[in-house]
Every structure is written in structure tokens, then in C-alpha cells.
Structure 1
């Protein structure tokens, strides 16, 4: 079998793994508010606060353990870490399915957060098998798998939720275990032994990983921009289900269908939009387009309280997913092959830190602005989305500064332009120069 064909088959295998993982995650989204209300006896505002704490616990474990697992994958390979993470997700869903009290929900989230290296490890896996100039496009395929998972998962979860809020969790547990079996029998290792490095405890923590990456200053700035983007993006998964229940009285099925519609737009943009955009205008311009779309979508959602309007901004906002893979593509070309796991561990830790702070802020803002009766001063359930829009603007400013400071506009693979012979075709640019000091 030719190396190129084998690489494509391996890529298909890892994307199927991510797809199944995202379906399992998406299944539980529409019914989580109802399950929280069932085990606590509280209303939707208090359920949103508890939901924020559940995401906080999960994200805290991700923040603490993602660099550990990323460094372990650099030492022992991607495959074992990925398989262990899938077993952890199976245990998480079962704990939550059987939860008689809210404590069980938190135990499940802790287990999932500790083992939840699936996406970070899969991203490092794809970096292993992909040339640097093609990584942004393939990272976009990860986003497409996310989107497709959120087409299938929430729709299935919403329909299964008609039989009770616990049923989707059983389905998610079964799917996670099936995913483990798929990976065990089908997925090969992507990191040869000769490209591995020793495990270093000093680097296997969020702060150690950042310290290890400080020799690439551009990486730290890009991680900061990615953090702000991720922080703002938490508003959507944290309060969308509670928000739609509050303002348009969505059922679990309607929540699932809306998220499915978002998934369609997200998957299409990731699969078919980011590759041509990066090739045509470059990664930095692609990032700016994604950030602009996200700002408009968040602010628009905050003020539109009709089903039709919410669907419109939801679908428009799905196009913003092109920003994160483009940033990740820029990041992946700043470090050597034996540091991809460490880098993706740092990326996942950055996203996890945003997941610690973002849901707490979004749900608390939502609860505060929905406590006054409807129509009274201070009642504004769209407030979390306004805050998210402001954060996206700040992320754009940081990214523009970084792009100017380190000349990212000209240090990336772009298509040859007939009127710009100085622009080399993809693959001819070296890894960004002066990586040690990050200077032009």
C-alpha cells in the first residue's frame, strides 16, 4: 500500500474516532438541564448554575491532566493514551446515568476530565501524519467531525430524551465503549519510537508546558488569543439550552434539532471552507474572518428572541469555527515533531482553562439577568452573549498584534498568486524562522 493511501486511511480512522466521541458528547446536551432539575428539584436558573459548576469541574481536570497526557503521548505514543481516554468517557456516562444525587454527576465529570485527552491526542496524531503546510486544513477536518457529531448527537439525544433524561447517557456510554473497541482493533500508532522523547515531570503540567514553550514567544501569544476565543465560545454550550428554554420555551427535541442545524453549518464550513480559505488568503486572514463572524453572531443572538432569528444567527455563527483550526495550524508549525503532543497538551490546557472560567461566568451572568421578572428592568437573558462578543473583539486585537509582531502574514504556506511571484507555493516555506527568540 502506498504511503499516501495509508496516511489517508489512518486519517479516516482517527476522524471516525473523533466523530463517535462527539456523537456521545452531543447526545447528553439536550437532556442535561432536565437531569439536573430531576436530581436537585431546582428550577432552570439554578440548574444553569449547577451546569456551570459541572463544566467547571470537568475543565479543571482537563487543565491539570491534559499536559500530563500530552507528554505521555510523546513518550509512549498516541494510541494507548487515546484508548484510555475512551474508557474514561464510558465510566463518566455510566456514573451520570445512574446518578441518584448531584454528587454522582460531579464524580462522572471528574473521571471524564482526567481521561478526556481524546481531542488533544487526536490532534497530535493528525500532526504526526500530516505535512506542516496541510495541518490547518486537516485540523479543519477535526472541526468537521465535531460538527457532524453535533448534527447527529443532539438530535438523537433530544429524541431519546422523550423516554427519560437518563436514556441518552446509557446510549453515550455504549457509544464510547464501541469507540474504544474500534480504536483498539483498527487504529495504528502514529508516533514511531525513534521520534519519541523522555517523559519529564517538570513539563507535564500546565505551567511547565508553557515554560517549555517560552522559547517560542509567538506560540505564547497565539495561545493567549486562542484562550480568549475559547473563553468567549463557552457562552454557547454553557447557556444555549437554558437560554432557549427561557426565551422561546424550547423542548429537548427543539434544542437537539437546533444544535443539529448548527452542526451542519459547522461541519460544512470546516470540511469545505477552511482549506480553500487558507490556500487563497492565508491562515491569519482566515482567523480574522472567523473572529468577525463570531462577534456578529453572539451580539445578534443576544437581542433576537424568536425561533427564526435564533436559527439565523446560529447558522451564521457556525461559520466562525474556521478561526480555531487556523490558529492551531499556525501553532503546530512552531515546534518540532517530538513536541506536538506537548503543544497540543498546552492547547488543550488553554482551552480547559477557558472552560473553567467561561461556563461559570456565562451561567452566573445568565442566572443574574434572568432573576428579575420578564419585562422588568435588569431582565436580559442575552447578557452572556454580549460578554462573549466583547471577548472575541479582544481576541482579535491580540491576534492582530501577534500577526504584525511576528510577521505571520508572510511566514505561512499560501498559493502562488499570478501577480505576486514573490509568494512561494505551499510547502516551500520553512518552519517560521527565529523560533528561538520569535523575532522577525
Structure 2
């Protein structure tokens, strides 16, 4: 019998290591990490114009203010897009738990530095460092994908997607409510550091919450990737399989056949080659993530148009109320709709339902805009707007968790962390690029008249539709693989049940050779 190579032998602790399973404690930690990462990315949005105008001592409508605002917001997704693949590689190399804790620890410090900043170099540096440590968002998908099975996959990714979507709501509310605290609570904050640093309180509040989550994660988060399964860098001369090929990352527990197959992934390469179906699933998430972010920003801009151009003239308070309506829809969808729907119809059908509702939500905005006059319609104008926001956010609660589940299936294997890292990078890049492009398109189309302001919504629908069309073969493949795996698991369970029923009968029978 051939001797197993040292690189393929299990480590000394392999027999004692038990893979963690999904439980309430682990789901709370992962959900909290995903929530605060999304809050952190959106915390700046509601007050960035006041921040920049205060530093420049110019009006928020100044072109210079708008330029700096775009740069300060854009630096976060750009840095996150650049570092996310490397966080994924680091998670495959060092393990999931240290990667999550290091990233979360950095995101505790950077916002406080941002809140204390008194110059643009400090603000940009703090924002970039913050994005660097939050670039490990994809690792939470990797971690969850390794502890779920067919029985709890829908529930796990529904909660994670719900936390992500809730962060889109809580971040702007937290950032817009806690700035300039000395103005709305002078007895408490007047003459304190929060008076001289009016943007510190929302960042400090976030940092305290992140520190608590870090402490909980350090105490209760378990490692899902044992040491003997982590990827290490090998020199070309160490393995005859790597002769004549670029240096790549291989995992110690891979067989010779798996090592050859893993060359396609090139974990430590800058531009790895993923299978076609995997790229198609990733594209579905990228297009949806960017288009949803663009639609959210477009809605805020369009509803902020004044009455002189027949707009709703909504301020931060009204926009916050609309976000709260969306939050209610998201909670209801994740609590009562998503898991039963995926169980009855499957993940692909659930994604399609969410996709259709997502794009229908704002397609009637030109009609809703006819009720913009508050003097004539009063509270009645909130009914169609609230219904559109309710439908939009609820549909996002169907599509995002399903996209995460498909990515988890596509990322199965030794390169799960790298695939999720590149997925997060593409999502961050699309969220950073699509909203500014949509804003530029809005500015151009607004010159066409009242209907022109709604053209960017339909443009986003077209882009999302193209993304779905290109991604459709890969998503169907993942759905078929999932159905096949579930059928195989069901057949195995039925076989185990038959065996368990036969064993008592055999034990009652007389032993062979024994006479009565």
C-alpha cells in the first residue's frame, strides 16, 4: 500500500477537530458583523455635504463641495474593491476567524479617527483605512457557507442578507441623527469635545457597537477551516505537478488530481480564472448590487426636488420615514416570507420573483409624481410612495440572500475565501461606480422635462436585466446542482432509515449455525 505524502496527511489535531454548525450564537455574531460593516459604509452619506461645506466654509451647493463629496464617498468602495480579494486569500491561508476579528478590530479605530479629523488628509486617510479593514465582508459569506447545509441554507443567508439590507437603512439614520449634537442637546454636549468635533458622535457610537461585536466574536466565534486544510505557498520545485507552470497556492489536503484542477483558480494570482458558471453567478450579484444602490440614491435625489420643478421637496426627516417603511418590509420578508418561499418554489424562482418586484417598484414613479403637491394631496401622497418603498425593500430581501446562496454554492471547494473575496470586490466597485453614474445621468435627463428625471430608473432596470440574462445559465446550473445534492441526501437518509429498521430484526434472529 503506498505511503501517503506528508502534505496530504492530516494534522495531529484532525481527529479531534469538529466542524462548527449553524446556531443562534454564531448567526448573531455573523449577522452583527455584516450589519455594522454595511452601517459603516453608509454612515457618512447623510452628513457628508455638511462636513465638506463646514471644512471648506462654502455653501453645500458649491461645485467644489460637490467634487470633494464625490471623492470622499468614492474612496471607500474603491479601496474595499481593491483589498477584498486579498482578504479572501488571507482567509484561505490563515483561517476565517482571525481574518474576521482583525478586520472588525480595525473598523473600531478608523471611524473614531475620522470623527476627530480636522483636515482633509486625515479624513481621506481614515476613510481609506476604514475601507481596508471592512474589505473582509466576503469572509462572512465564506464562514456561513461552511456551516450551513440544505436544511438551514435559506434561513442562514436570509438573516445575513437581511442584516446587510438593514445596514443600508440604519447607517443613514444613525449618521444623520447624531451630527451636531451640541445644537439639539446643548445641555449635554455643549462645551464638550462633541461641540468642537460635531461629527464625532455618530462615528463613536458606531465604534462602541463594533467593539462590543468584536468582543462577542472573540469569545464565541469558532474556526471553520482546520489547519491541515489551509492553503500554503509552495515553490515550484517542491511538487512535480507544478513544473512548467506559474507558482500557485495549493492546499495540503488536496490529492494530485485536485492539485491540477486547482491551477485554474490560482488563489494567489491577481486575476484568477474561475469557472464560467461561477463568474456568471458573481456577475448577477455585481449588477444587482450596483443597480440597487443606484436606485436608492436616485430615489433620494428625485424626492428632494423642490416644488418649483413639481417635486416632492422631501427633507431628511421625510426620507428617514420612508426608509423606516422599507425596514418594516425587510423584517417581514426575512421573518415570514423568504424561507417558506425558497422551500416551496426553490431559490431560482425566489430570485426571479424578487427581481421582477424590484424593477416594478419604481416603474410607476412618473404616475406617483403626479401626487407630489402636499397642499393638494397631503398625506395621501405617502400611500403610493410607501407602497413602492415597501415593495422595493422587500424584493431586495428576496434577491440578496438568494444571490449569496448561489455564490456559496459556486464557491464550494478549497478556494471559497478567494471567490467570496472577488465577489465582494466586484460588489463594492459596482456600488461605488453605479450611483455616481446614475446621478450624472439624472442631471442630463432632467433637462428633458418632468419625465426625464425617471429615465435613470429604467436605465438601471435595463442594466440589471442584462446582468440576469448573462448570468442565467450559471444560476440554473447552481440550482440543478442543489436539487441533485438534495435528492442524493434524501436517498441517503432513506437508506439509513431502512438499515435502522432492519438491524433490530437481524438482532432478534438466531445466530448462524445455532440449532433450536
**Same fold, TM-score > 0.5, yes or no:** yes
How many angstroms does 1:79 deviate by? 1.8
| Distance change (3 Å), C-alpha of 1:346 and 1:21 | closer
Q: Which residue of 2 aligns with 1:434?
A: none
Superposition CA RMSD, Å: 3.3
Partner Cα separation in structure 2 for residue 6 and residue 254 of structure 1? 39
Q: Does 1:396 align with 2:476?
A: no
Q: Which residue of 1 aligns with 2:336?
A: 272
Q: Does 1:350 align with 2:350?
A: no
SS in 1 for 2:391: helix
Q: What is the CA deviation profile of residues 351-405 of structure 1, one whole-angstrom value per residue up to 9, with x for unaligned ones?
A: 12312321231232234445x5xxx74884444323212212222322334456x
Unaligned runs of 5+ in 2: 1-17, 184-197, 234-247, 250-265, 306-310, 373-380, 493-516
Q: Does 1:143 align with 2:161?
A: yes
Q: Which residue of 1 aligns with 2:26?
A: 10
Count of residues paired in the alignment: 410
How many angstroms does 1:316 deviate by? 0.7
Q: Which residue of 2 aligns with 1:185?
A: 219
Q: 1:58 aligns with which of 58, 62, 76?
A: 76
- Higher RCO (C-alpha 8 Å, min separation 6): 1
Q: 1:331 aligns with which of 384, 387, 407?
A: 407
| Distance change (3 Å), C-alpha of 1:124 and 1:426 | same
Partner Cα separation in structure 2 for residue 280 and residue 91 of structure 1? 45
Q: Which residue of 1 aligns with 2:357?
A: 293
Q: 1:224 aligns with which of 283, 292, 295?
A: 283
| Distance change (3 Å), C-alpha of 1:130 and 1:100 | same
Q: What is the CA deviation profile of residues 320-342 of structure 1, one whole-angstrom value per residue up to 9, with x for unaligned ones?
A: 22123213312322343432211
| Distance change (3 Å), C-alpha of 1:102 and 1:368 | farther
| Distance change (3 Å), C-alpha of 1:16 and 1:352 | closer
Q: Which residue of 2 aligns with 1:340?
A: 416
Q: Which residue of 2 aligns with 1:315?
A: 390
How many angstroms does 1:72 deviate by? 0.5
How many angstroms does 1:251 deviate by? 3.0
What pairs with 1:355-434 in structure 2 (closer than 5 Å)? 355-369=431-445, 377=449, 380-403=452-475, 406=477, 408=478, 410-413=480-483, 427-428=489-490
CA contact (8 A) 2:19 2:224 kept: no
Q: 2:86 aligns with which of 68, 73, 79?
A: 68
SS in 1 for 2:418: helix
Partner Cα separation in structure 2 for residue 266 and residue 295 of structure 1? 16
Q: What is the CA deviation profile of residues 205-252 of structure 1, one whole-angstrom value per residue up to 9, with x for unaligned ones?
A: 6622xx1x2xx3211111122222122122134444444333433333
Partner Cα separation in structure 2 for residue 384 and residue 105 of structure 1? 31
Q: Which residue of 1 aligns with 2:133?
A: 115
How many angstroms does 1:310 deviate by? 3.0
Deviates more, 1:233-242 or 1:343-352: 233-242
How many angstroms does 1:24 deviate by? 4.7
Q: Which residue of 1 aligns with 2:195?
A: none
Q: Which residue of 1 aligns with 2:52?
A: 36
Deviates more, 1:243-252 or 1:68-77: 243-252
Q: Which residue of 2 aligns with 1:417?
A: none
SS in 2 for 1:254: helix
Partner Cα separation in structure 1 for residue 349 and residue 488 of structure 2? 16
CA contact (8 A) 1:56 1:359 kept: no
How many angstroms does 1:118 deviate by? 4.3
Unaligned runs of 5+ in 1: 415-422, 431-440
| Distance change (3 Å), C-alpha of 1:70 and 1:292 | same
CA contact (8 A) 1:231 1:391 kept: no
Deviates more, 1:159-168 or 1:226-235: 159-168
Partner Cα separation in structure 1 for residue 457 and residue 231 of structure 2? 43
Partner Cα separation in structure 1 for residue 279 and residue 491 of structure 2? 22
Q: What is the CA deviation profile of residues 92-121 of structure 1, one whole-angstrom value per residue up to 9, with x for unaligned ones?
A: 423432344544443233212221134211
| Distance change (3 Å), C-alpha of 1:168 and 1:368 | farther
CA contact (8 A) 1:139 1:328 kept: yes
| Distance change (3 Å), C-alpha of 1:350 and 1:193 | same
Partner Cα separation in structure 2 for residue 18 and residue 65 of structure 1? 17
Q: Does 1:169 align with 2:213?
A: no
**Higher CA-based Rg:** 2
| Distance change (3 Å), C-alpha of 1:386 and 1:5 | closer
Partner Cα separation in structure 2 for residue 429 and residue 54 of structure 1? 55
Q: Normalization by structure 1: what TM-score?
A: 0.80
Q: Normalization by structure 2: what TM-score?
A: 0.70
| Distance change (3 Å), C-alpha of 1:113 and 1:290 | same
Partner Cα separation in structure 1 for residue 491 and residue 38 of structure 2? 34
Partner Cα separation in structure 2 for residue 429 and residue 384 of structure 1? 50
Deviates more, 1:114-123 or 1:301-310: 301-310
Q: Which residue of 1 aligns with 2:294?
A: 235
Partner Cα separation in structure 2 for residue 93 and residue 78 of structure 1? 24
